[in-house]
Amino acid sequence: MNERDIFIAALDITDPIARAAYLDRACTGNSDLRTQVESLLKTHSQASQFLETPAAATNPQGDKTVLSSSVHELDSDEEQATGEVEFCRYLQPPTRPGWLGRLAHYEIEKILGRGAFGIVAKAFDEKLHRVVAIKLMSPALAATSPPRKRFLREARTAAAVMHENLVAIHAVEESPIPYLVMEYIAGRTLQEKLDSQGPLEIADILRIGQQVATGLAAAHAVNLVHRDIKPSNILLSEGPVERAKITDFGLARAVDDATMTSSGLIAGTPLYMAPEQARGETLDHRADLFSLGSVLYPMVGGRPPFRASNTVAVLRRVCSDDPRPLNDVIAGTPNWLEAIVFRLLEKDRDQRIQSAQEVADLLARCQRELEHTGKVTCVPIRANNARGAESKTRRAPHWGSHTTWIAAGVLSVLCLVVVAWTQGWFSSSRNDDSSSNVARLDRPSNVPPVTNSNGADTGPSRELADSSGGGATANPETTNSDPESSNPSTFETDVNSEPATWNGWSAKQPAPALAPFNADEAAAYQQAWAEYLGVPVEYTNSIGMKFRLIPPGEFEMGSTADLVQELLNEIGDESAWRERVLSEVPKHRVVLTRPFYLGVTEVTQGQYEQVMGVNPSHFAASGTGSEYVSGLSTTEFPVDSASWYDATEFCTKLSQLESLTPFYRQTGDTVTFGVGTGYRLPTEAEWELASRAGTTTTYWSGETTSELARAGWYLDNSESRTH
């Protein structure tokens, strides 16, 4: 193996000990080769996330979020080499000495930057004889159809906008890998300017701010929302007149919902995103105006308006807190300038300045007044204390009511379970004297209502009760079908009085599925249990939902203490999340003693509408995200935007449709479970047993997130889409 092959293979090994062992084997005593590969790995870990990295970094003490540099040019040999390893395999041999190679008729000179979405290189267009920048899509993302289509669609959308304050896109290509050809800007980013100079002069703030607002107005005029306006996405050209140009329309959409990226919690950068973006609401052009205010703030004060120790805390501040008055940060800040910034930073988008063109015009007027009279009179001033009191009262509930959504990062989808005994296919006498060490799966009997940071209840709650009485409250927010909160009842050990083996298991029954096991063994377990019970491994119900038999089994559940501690360090003092993370320890063996059927796919929009008579989905022809599915039939798309209570009602109505006794009973705001033997939602343990399918690695697909990205459709590679 050569240096490049070893480097690429080592990237997939995240455990330091395992990586070192691999390098020992791969380098076979070649110390020079080992040094070169380790150097590349070190550079890779430190490389700037040029395309999509949030401008947030935690200092060694972990007490503040500070601005980090966004490197526009990678100058060292090691940084160049890292980019070359990934980039060069798509290139033809160069015709110019010392250059990297050719991509179609573009001669590639050097790597400019790299990020979660791809690589940017400086190149020369041999046909038009001009210097260009080429953005090449990440090979891992290009290998999957949805990101590939999304990249091409968004590039073509951005290419339709031509303006002197926007980086122009010259071409969009698909082979050998998706890439776009952009205007090359010699200069630096606004982030680099702030890093080197700190707060800017008022004249520079007005000039750059006016140019950025003008560029946004051009994009908004064609219904394009950038969604990631931040200092590192604003390029400042070299030359006699410095000109600001907005770049990286990789997240741009016409109208959007907040989405996930592989380098940040939500698409966009938390330090600069609008509250509605953090809450996952549908966006319009005013989200970019809030981000513009978040960019103007550090131009005036030298630091972003919403700093905290971790991403979740930053998002909470974005949604709930007022930024510190700029006069407290930089004494002598003009009141009119602070007023403009704080108008843009209004949590309620209706209270902001309503268009980018209005912002551009206002900044231009301020610039003219300042030049001619030395003072600004065109900006109305509001008292800060009145603004703060009003906004805090108005938005107190916002964060709490959306905490679960932000953590999930995706629109909810439903996956329903019908347990095997609902059809009378399985029964087992229970030996009450059994002392088998079996995990007891209890309902969440102490789920508190979600509250905001001030302890205020964030909304109405409903009661959950089992059939024997008792209950708890839970906030009925739109979430993923959380297996923990979906746990419908208590499950106890099921054993026979016959000669026993595993945990009191009858010797006549097939062996349970004991992890670890592989795919072939999983299929054998399913077939054995299907034959024993006299049922099919897979069946389809009356509305076309396909279910697969999951045999009884045992697996290890939970996380290691080290991983939990790492997560606790990341989430800080957010008590709701600490509680959930702490529930992951200690790691323990869980036994499921009854077979059940699990839905093979999510409930589709067509199936949901057939049962419920409505379709709540965002990604539907009648949904708020209809523009993303224009011309598509969404009948087979997963239903989304349904709450836990919607899911239980779906189960109840589907059970009635098939003459089954519903598992849930809803009386007013009370949901009683364990009533009948109809359809229900899976427990956390049932879901994990089925999803893991015998694997014991960190993820079901392996140990690394790169393996997960190749195998699954999840937060970091779905952008919160269900299709």
If you average pLDDT over residues 529-549, what whole number do you get? 89
If you average pLDDT over residues 568-595, what whole number do you get? 75
Given a cut of 80, is residue 545 above it in pLDDT?
A: yes
Helix H or strand E segment including 556: strand 553-557
* Long-range CB pairs of 610-618, under 8 A, 24+ apart, other chains included: 610/543, 611/543, 611/650, 611/653, 611/654, 611/657, 612/646, 612/649, 612/650, 612/653, 615/639, 616/640, 616/641, 616/642, 616/646, 617/641, 617/642, 617/722, 618/257, 618/411
Mind spelling out the 3-state secondary structure of 565-589? HHHHHHHCCCHHHHHHHHCCCCCEE
Given a cut of 70, is residue 428 above it in pLDDT?
A: no
If you average pLDDT over residues 631-650, what whole number do you get? 86
Q: Are strands 553-557 and 513-514 parallel, antiparallel or unpaired?
A: parallel
Please tell me the predicted confidence (pLDDT) of residue 533: 85
**Distance between CA atoms of residues 16 and 406, nearest Å:** 31
Each residue of 125-159: pLDDT tens digit?
988 889 999 888 777 666 666 667 777 776 777 78
Each residue of 695-704: pLDDT tens digit?
988 888 888 7
Instruction: Encode 242-277: b = buried (16+ Cβ within 10 Å), e = exposed.
Output: ebbbbbbbbbbbebbbbbbbbebbbbbbbbbbbbbb
Task: Count CB neighbours of 295 within 10 A.
Answer: 27
Of 491 and 168, more confident: 168
The tokens for 370 are 């300042």
Catalytic positions: 228
Q: What is the DSSP letter of 471?
A: E
Q: What is the pTM of this model?
A: 0.46
**Distance between CA atoms of residues 645 and 147, nearest Å:** 32
Given a cut of 50, is residue 461 above it in pLDDT?
A: no
Each residue of 344-354: pLDDT tens digit?
999 999 999 99
CB 441 within 8 A of CB 490: yes
What's the Cα-to-Cα distance from 637 to each of 1, 483, 621, 654, 711, rounded to whole Å? 44, 21, 11, 19, 19
Residue 550: strand pairing partners: 596
**Distance between CA atoms of residues 606 and 550, nearest Å:** 25
User: What percent of the chain lies above the pLDDT cut of 70?
Assistant: 67
**Distance between CA atoms of residues 200 and 302, nearest Å:** 8
Which of 244-253, 257-266, 631-640 holds the top average pLDDT?
631-640
Mind spelling out the 3-state secondary structure of 431-470? CCCCCCCCCCECCCCCCCCCECCCCCECCCCEEEEECCEE
CB 296 within 8 A of CB 330: no
Q: Are strands 462-466 and 670-673 parallel, antiparallel or unpaired?
A: parallel
What residue type is assigned to position 33 of the chain?
L
